[in-house]
Each structure stands twice: as structure tokens, then as C-alpha cells.
Amino acid sequence: MKEKYIEYANKTFEGKAKDIVLKQIDLFYKDVKIKKPKYQIGDEVILKKGTFLHGLGLNPNALDFIVENGFISSDFNNSEYRKKIFNSVGMWNIKNDCLLKDYIYFYSGATFTINLGTKGRENNIEYKVIPLNKIEKSILELNNRKDVWSWSAMQTKEVRFLPSKASDKIQLGFILNMESDYAKELAQADFFNKEYGKEILKYFCVEQFLNWYINNEINPTTTDRESSIMFGLPSSLIEGVLVGRQYEQNEKILRHIKEKLTDCYICNLDGKVIY
């Protein structure tokens, strides 16, 4: 597979972008041992700053593929589905140390876009993520704020792509340990790396959105907590698996996950190790 991905890189990229991707592929296939935290059943999971989370979609066979092959951009496997950001793998990037349970609860809420009227000819917009238990109260407060002209709300992207308390649609997510020097080197090849300019990023974003990503400040709607790692990341970085309520109650699925990832813990939406 490595040779196939190198061939794709040589055909698809040029200049600095090609150098970055070829280096990333080489790093990806290095045999590096990752030190992982040891939890007991019932322990609360801690997310360290820089930890990555990745949600698994509705394909039941994707777990086995990821364990065996790693997190690899579908574009390198001839996918016809093209996203705004491509040739890379999306990750949630933890910005500060926190408990997993607090992260899940907060981002099981909604993202509010609040129009405070105008200043001159420019819209004055405020963005806020509201946790699940404060949505109703926040709506009442916004409706009574004199400075608010209008507001709208949408589910957070975490609700769409990770197991959450607000939806049962996604039942599986991965927690990646990014503390090692090896992992940090891989994480540098990030579409959102401020050191990269248009000559590199044009290979990873559709043209109509490229200038926006380069010139605009990322906000909670777009979002300001994502990374998109060029080519991908190896499965050896997985330290734990997050399951939704349905999988939590399915002993067969839990056992299968543990058989595939013997050195990893399984945790639930309460942020506690269950397996």
C-alpha cells in the first residue's frame, strides 16, 4: 500500500506540498512504540492538550480497516467523494487539558450565531457554543437581549461526527495519543498550520473556499477546534475508543473492539472506562 500512496503523491502534488506528503507517508509507516495511559474500569478519562479525536461513520467495516491500515485520507484510495478539505484526515484537536465527560457534554450542545445589528456597513456577529443543558436558558436570554437583532443555532460538528449525548447516529470514536515527539511531528502536517501558504494548501482545499481559509479567522462555527492531517495518521496512536449508548450495551461489539485493540481502553459518554 505504501508504494501505491507514494505513486498517488508523485502524480498529485508538486513542490513543497509533495515534499510534505512524501515525508508524511514515510513517517506513517515507521514502527514506533507509543506509550499509552493505563486506566482501570471506572476511571475517568483525561484528555491532554493536543489529543486528537476522530469519529467513525456508519460503515460497520470501517473499524477493522482503520485498525489494520490507519487513518488514511479516502482520496488516496481513489474516492470520488470530494470534501471542502481533502487529501487529509479530519481530527478534533483538544485545546486544553480536560475531562472527556466535560468535553462530550459541552459539545453535545449547539453553536449559536448571534447578529448584534450593524456597525457602519459591517455585520457585528458573535459566535458561541452553548452546552446541552443551557440551550433553553440561552434562547430566552437572547430573545430578551436589547442588543441582539437576530440569532440562529445549529448542532455542533461533534454531534454530527462523534458519539454524543445529543444523537445516537454515531456510535464509535477514537482517542489518539499525540504526546510523543513522533506524533507531534506527524501533527505538523496540518491543513490549519499557519506556516503553510496558498502554494501548499491549494492541493488540500477546493478553490472556492481556499482564500477564505487562508484570509479569515476560524470561528466556533467553522470550527476553531479542528485539525486536518495531510495523508493521515497510523492506528498505533489510538489510546482509547469512545462508544455511544447502543454500543455500550452490546457485549459482542465491545469484545470485538477489544480484540482488535488489545492495548486500548473503551470508554462511554460519561467519560468513564468500561472495558
Q: Which amino acid, 74? A: S
Query: What are the grid coordinates assigned to 87, written together?
Result: 487529501
Number of residues written out for the chain: 275
Per-residue pLDDT of the chain (275 residues; tens, 9 = 90+): 899 999 999 999 999 999 999 999 999 999 999 999 999 999 999 999 999 999 987 776 789 999 999 999 999 987 777 789 999 999 999 999 999 999 999 999 999 999 987 655 456 889 999 999 999 999 999 999 998 999 999 999 999 999 999 999 999 999 999 999 999 999 999 999 999 999 999 999 999 999 989 988 788 888 899 999 999 999 999 999 999 999 999 999 999 999 999 999 999 999 999 99
Distance CA 177, CA 38 (A): 12
The helix (H) or strand (E) run that includes residue 151 is strand 150-155
Show me where the domains of the chain are located. 2-103+159-267, 109-155
Distance CA 204, CA 254 (A): 35
Per-residue three-class SS string for 173-203? EEEECCCCHHHHHHHCCECCCCCCCHHHHCC
Distance CA 179, CA 59 (A): 29
